[in-house]
Amino acid sequence: MIVKALRVGLGQLIIFIDFITRPGKQKRPAEAQAQVEQAARSLTLYQFHACPFCVKTRRTLRRLNVPVALRDAKNNEQDRQTLLEQGGRIKVPCLRIEENGETTWMYESKVIIEYLDKRFSAA
Tens-place pLDDT, residues 24-35: 888 999 999 999
Spans in the chain with pLDDT lower than 50:
none
Q: How far is Cα 47 from Cα 89, in angstroms, rounded to an integer? A: 13
Residues 120, 122: Cα–Cα separation, whole Å: 6
At residue 123, the pLDDT reads: 52
Cα–Cα distances in Å, from 10 out to 13, 23, 50, 60?
5, 21, 8, 21
Return the pLDDT at 21: 86
> In this structure, how many other beta carbons lie within 10 angstroms of the beta carbon of residue 21?
8
In order of 9, 47, 63, 100, the CA distances from 74 in angstroms are 17, 7, 24, 29
Q: What is the pLDDT of residue 122?
A: 65
Query: What is the reported pLDDT for 99?
Result: 92
Domains and CATH numbers, the chain: 32-120 (3.40.30.10)
- The answer to whether 47 touches 71, Cβ cutoff 8 Å, is yes
pTM for the whole structure: 0.87
Residue 96 one-letter amino acid: R
What is the distance of C-alpha 110 from the center of its chain? 11
Question: pLDDT tens across 3-24, in order?
Answer: 878 877 887 888 888 888 888 8
